[in-house]
Amino acid sequence: MADDDPKLAALVRTYLERAGHSVVVVHDGRAALVECRRRQPDLAVLDVMMPVLDGHDVCHVLRSEGDVPIIFLTARASEDDLVAGLGLGADDYVTKPFSPRELVARVEAVLRRRRPAPDTTMITRAGSLVLDEDRHEVTLAGRPVPCTPAEFRILRELVANPSRVYSRQRLLEAAFGFDHDALERTVDVHVMNLRRKLEQDPAAPQRLVTVYGVGYKYVADD
């Protein structure tokens, strides 16, 4: 956990440890980056407004290096700020002030979504696109496609039934769960990021297609 408010960080650490988690606390973005690289954590909780490097900068670097789940803590509650954070690849966000119990619940929800079901092998194919849930890997015509956890879940929902149209609300539930208060616009941000990774021309998508007034569908190639 990275937050420049020592009292808040200590309080959250206490709640997380009571829930059975091992927690390392730092107070600036550079220290957060160092500890994430050194420890390879199961999840990172990052305050957006931190000295040295802010949470967005840390998230950007971590996303370029791997797919550790990230939850933002932010006092910025506007729609644009939240969409910007999710657009960087965060899995969730919690706006300040917040209940430590809520943050613990969000942490455990993100970890549950990342935990594969036991004794199962789930591989989904749609044309040349392959999703391997056990390894959390996506390939397109054999080429690895790095995806954030939220992008992976949205893509999994779409390719489960190619050509079926999914509403933004349905994709939002797939990415964040039924009890989440995220904005439907965040789905557009994740789809935009996926198009950059999957489409030859993201401005004229052939795979991730918009159905105006309804939502999105995945069109598999032959």
Q: For residue range 165-191, list pLDDT tens digits in order.
A: 999 888 888 777 655 556 778 888 899
pLDDT band at 121; cut points 50, 70, 90? low
What per-residue confidence (pLDDT) applies to 92?
86
Give the global pTM: 0.60
Domains, in order of start, for the chain: 6-114 (3.40.50.2300), 123-218 (1.10.10.10)
Residue 139's DSSP bridge partners are 130, 144
Lowest pLDDT segment from 26-35, 37-46, 64-73, 111-120: 111-120
* Per-position b or e across 141-175, b if 16+ CB within 10 A of its CB: eeeebebbbbbbbbbbbbbeebeeebebebbbbbb
> What is the average per-residue pLDDT within 31-59?
92
What per-residue confidence (pLDDT) applies to 197?
94
CA separation for the pair 124, 197 (Å, rounded): 18
